[in-house]
Amino acid sequence: MMQKRYMSIWFSTLLTDWIRIKRPVLKDLPLVFSDKAGNRMVITAASKEAASLGIHLGMPLADARAIVPDLEVIENQCHKSKKLLTALGRWCIRYTPLVALEEDQGLILDISGCAHLWGGEKAYLREIVNRLRGIGYQVRAAISDTMGTAWAVSRYGRVSPIIKSGEELNALLPLPPMALRISPIASQKLIKLGLKTIGSFISMPRSALRRRIGEDSMERIEQVLGQKEDFFLPITVPEVYSERLASMEPIRTRKGIEIAIEKLLFQLCTKLQSDGVGLRSALLQSYRIDGQVIKTQIGTNSPSINTSHLFKLFSLQIDKIEPKMGIELFTMDAVRFDRLDPGQESLWMTEKSMSNQKVIELLDRLAGKLGAQVIQRYLPQPHHWPERSIKKVDSITEPLSLPWRTDRLRPVQLLKVPEPVQVTAPIPDYPPMLFRYQGVTHQVKKADGPERIEREWWLEKGEHRDYYQLEDAEGKRYWLFRSGHYSSEKPSQWFIHGFFA
Amino acid sequence: MISKLFSLLSQKDMAAVKKDIIGKLQEQILNLQGFKPERNAHGIDFGLGIISNAFPGNAFPLAALHEFLATNLEDAAASGGFISVLLSTLMKKGGLCLWISTQRKIFPPSLITFGLSPERIIFIDLQNERDVLWASEEALKCESLTAVVTELDEISFAQSRRLQLVTEKSRVTAFVIRKNAEKLSSTLAAARWRISAMPSGAIDGLPGLGFARWQVELLKVKNGIPGNWMIECAAGVFKPVKQAPFNDLKIRKAV
């Protein structure tokens, strides 16, 4: 079996480097990241400048501010570092197919059989480190037979970053116990005992050591020395669906563009279909001879690999593609794609369910021309407050999670904002006798109510509403409410909120 | 040949045969006019009772354009309620419906009162009338829908003809609510309705509001007989009201 080789890359100041690449203004300023821990803000990352002023990780933000009053603070980015590492890991795929994330800001690469392509391990390591430093990240890297040794040398190594096979133990001897990545308590204990280097205790009898630092730490040591298998969980690379079509002669006609789109869609959809996914959003880029790139994007309401339907969506936008001197290259990318439901089961049941696909395609066409926000579907929400009793849903297949309420009559037409009306009503709780709305006086003949609806105090403040259903002399029906209680200080406010059928 | 046949029959029989022939010819004329009676239409009972007699062939015209006149929000609410009851019958077997409008005020939870499940309606909320017409036409082309409700301020003759032709092809029923019915133009709709509220009757002599009661005016109906009725809606079902108190109704001129 071929000897495994691992490379560990350590981003010592990952987050601060990242923000400085994004905002170069922050260069050379003391900079920290802070996050909530319990009920206080603590430092989660600090730049070199901040660290040299005495700010360390885990320090309360208030203390840090006391030390450095003009400290730059970036808050609530706790998930950022993992995201960044994943992105960097994906970038590293160019050097080896197997990349894994490491805790505390590092990557581990399985480089077995890869380094010679770059002319040996030395050149390989230099290439990666230089490239990353060029982007703006402070990195240290090390190569070794075991992941643990590579980790230790990249963090604590002083001599050479490349550890030859079988030299692991020698490389580890001068390093502090922390380099073994054993628990902080165990390493503190060892230092307290005066065992400040790995060399001073590694040759001790296992049983004696185990008693002092525990079983977990012993296992860790065995992994570092390569006596036990370590875990390696490679990150996955997202599939990229992209097609390109170059044309010998620049294309200048609508027909030509249509043919190009059809061809690209066919290629893309064949690929998507074989992977069992469907298109949610596609981007067509047309490269013109004059250097301009025209971007055209479509979206669908459900994953689709129906080329004729997707083509229809594009054809709504072909007018926007101005060929001018001619287009020499088309590319099409699947910007978003989702798993394709095999049967696309639906809640519309029965005979019409077969043709559900057609409705989805209709909605796509509407969304393509008028925008996706025009399509609304509503489901009930467990709230009494009328404005909050329904919620918008994006999908046309989301089923009903709780039943519609039928015990209370609700108006067919509901005003977005209740409008004030003048009302004559006997107190305390009788329905109005007449009300005036938009200059017309309505005599109330029949009435039901009141139905008191309390405002949900945990969501918003304000008065409750007492709703009445009123019928005037002509039989027209209205939904009026009085806001709040009667009080002697101010006249009560009445509003009209809806119209019954 | 036919005259020979007639001579053989008695006077009474001849009347029956004539009626039969006339009936068949009428059906042919209707067919030529683009009015094809839906094969299952006779199976669907909207509970309209006596109103059904006003329609050609005594069946509510599906796959056709129905327009509803509404001058104010109260009328729009009544029309919305009436259409919802029709839709609930139409969608009993499943299916979807689109409700296309600008400045929509329809409150979905209320539709359950008329037997219509609000989650089976997709609302399309648009900015201008032109888009509403375009979207309605596109929607009516889609055979998989059961019905399309369109709220509009105005619709011209040409626009109504476009919609009517599309419905004839796709067999989707179209309901158009004209919110600005003061300026009326003629259209090609198969039926023109006006639904307005009426004072409700007490339920079992109890105070408070009774069931919603509407005056249903069928102002125009292609190949049918326009009329004027009173109808009640209780628990999502139509209940025609006896015509007795009809004298005091203000009879509007047919438009």
Q: What's the pLDDT at B151?
A: 92
Q: What's the pLDDT at A8?
A: 92
Of B94, B135, B139, the CB nearest to A350: B94
**Per-residue confidence band for B107, with pLDDT thresholds at 50, 70 and 90:** very high
CA Rg, chain B, in Å? 20
A interface mutation test: which of B39, B68, B74 has the most A CBs within 10 A? B74
Mean pLDDT computed over A345-372:
66
Of A353, A411, A445, the CB nearest to B110: A411
Q: How many CA atoms lie within 13 A of A399 on its CB side?
A: 6
Residue B121, min C-alpha distance to chain A (Å):
7
Residue A81, min C-alpha distance to chain B (Å):
41
Question: How many interchain CB pairs under 8 A, A with B?
Answer: 164
Residue A39 phi, psi (nearest 5): -115, 20
pLDDT score of A342 more than 60: no
Q: What's the pLDDT at A350?
A: 39
For chain A, counts of helices (H) and of strands (E):
12, 19
Residues of B in contact with A405 (CB under 8 A): 109, 112
Determine what percent of chain A is predicted with pLDDT higher than 70. 97
Q: What is the 3-state secondary structure (H, E, C) of A136-204?
A: CCCEEEEEECCHHHHHHHHHHCCCCCECCCCCHHHHHCCCCHHHHCCCHHHHHHHHHCCCCCHHHCCCC
Give B234-237 contacts, CB < 8 A, sequence gap 24+. Answer: B235/B115, B236/B85, B236/B88, B236/B113, B236/B114, B236/B115, B236/B116, B237/B47, B237/B85, B237/B115
**Per-residue confidence band for A168, with pLDDT thresholds at 50, 70 and 90:** confident
How crowded is residue A130: how many other Cβ atoms within 10 Å of its Cβ? 10
Residue B51, min C-alpha distance to chain A (Å):
20
Give A243 or A351, the one with higher predicted confidence: A243
Mean pLDDT computed over A384-397:
84
For strands A327-339 and A375-380, give the pairing.
unpaired
pLDDT tens digits for range B33-44: 766 655 544 557
**Per-residue confidence band for B243, with pLDDT thresholds at 50, 70 and 90:** low
pLDDT tens digits for range B129-156: 999 999 999 999 988 888 999 998 888 8
Residue written as tokens 């990349």?
Answer: A99
Mean pLDDT computed over A202-228:
86
Q: What's the pLDDT at A406?
A: 83
Chain A residue at shortest CA distance from B235? A406
Q: What's the pLDDT at A344?
A: 44
CB contact under 8 A, B109 and A376: no
Q: What's the pLDDT at B4?
A: 57
Q: What is the 3-state secondary structure (H, E, C) of chain B?
A: CHHHHHHHCCHHHHHHHHHHHHHHHHHHHHHHCCCCCCCCHHHCCCCCHHHHHHCHHHCCCCCCEEEEECCCHHHHHHHHHHHHHHHHHHHHHCCEEEEEEECCCECHHHHHHHCCCHHHEEEEEECCHHHHHHHHHHHHCCCCEEEEEEEECCCCHHHHHHHHHHHHHHCCEEEEEECCCCCCCCCCCCEEEEEEEECCCCCCCCCCCCCEEEEEEEEEECCCCCEEEEEEEECCEEEECCCHHHCCCCCCCCC
- Ordered alpha helix ranges (H), A246-388: 254-274, 307-315, 356-370
Q: What's the pLDDT at B139?
A: 92
Residue A481, min C-alpha distance to chain B (Å):
16
Q: Which residues of A413-435 are buried (b: 16+ CB within 10 A; e: fewer)?
A: bbbeebeebebebeeeeebbeeb
User: Distance between CA A143 and CA B204 in Å, rounded?
Assistant: 91
Mean pLDDT in chain A? 85
Residue written as tokens 């405002």?
Answer: A455
Q: What's the pLDDT at A479?
A: 93
pLDDT tens digits for range A65-81: 888 888 888 887 777 88
**Rama region for A324: left / alpha / beta (φ>0; ψ in -120 to 50; rest):** left
Residue B34 phi, psi (nearest 5): 85, 15
| 3-state class (DSSP) for residue A326 | coil
Residues of A in contact with B197 (CB under 8 A): 474-477, 501
pLDDT tens digits for range A438-480: 888 999 988 887 889 988 888 888 888 999 999 988 889 999 9
pLDDT tens digits for range A280-297: 889 999 999 888 888 988
How crowded is residue B90: how many other Cβ atoms within 10 Å of its Cβ? 19
Residue B40 phi, psi (nearest 5): -95, 5
Chain A residue at shortest CA distance from B249? A474
Mean pLDDT in chain B? 82
Residues of A in contact with B109 (CB under 8 A): 378, 380, 389-390, 404-405, 410
Mean pLDDT computed over A12-38:
85
User: Distance between CA B47 and CA B237 in Å, rounded?
Assistant: 7
**Per-residue confidence band for B2, with pLDDT thresholds at 50, 70 and 90:** low
Residue B124, min C-alpha distance to chain A (Å):
5
Q: How many CA atoms lie within 13 A of B38 on its CB side?
A: 22
User: Distance between CA B30 and CA A397 in Å, rounded?
Assistant: 39
B interface mutation test: which of A396, A410, A412, A474 has the most B CBs within 10 A? A412
Nearest to B61 by CA among B35, B86, B79: B35
CB contact under 8 A, B125 and A471: no
Least confident of A91-95, A108-112, B246-250: B246-250
CB contact under 8 A, A376 and B123: yes
Residues of B in contact with A390 (CB under 8 A): 108-109, 118
Of A348, A374, A446, the CB nearest to B208: A446
Residues of B in contact with A350 (CB under 8 A): 93-94
CB contact under 8 A, B143 and A501: no
CA angle centred on B249, ends B243 and B250, rounded to 5°: 145
pLDDT score of A158 more than 60: yes
Residues of A in contact with B95 (CB under 8 A): 348, 352
Give strand ranges (E) for A340-412.
Answer: 375-380, 390-393
Q: How many CA atoms lie within 13 A of B12 on its CB side?
A: 0
Q: What's the pLDDT at B34?
A: 63
Of A369, A389, A501, the CB nearest to B77: A501
Residue A217 phi, psi (nearest 5): -65, -35
CB contact under 8 A, B135 and A370: yes
pLDDT tens digits for range B53-98: 888 777 888 888 999 998 888 888 999 999 999 998 888 877 889 9
Residues in contact with A277: Cβ distance below 8 Å, sequence separation at least 6, in sequence order:
A303, A337, A338, A339, A340
DSSP A85-124: HHHHHHHHTTT-SEEEEETTTEEEEE-TTTGGGGTSHHHH
A interface mutation test: which of B39, B73, B103, B231 has the most A CBs within 10 A? B73
CB contact under 8 A, B142 and A359: yes
Residues of A in contact with B207 (CB under 8 A): 446
> Is the ipTM of this structure higher than 0.90?
no
B interface mutation test: which of A301, A354, A385, A413 has the most B CBs within 10 A? A413
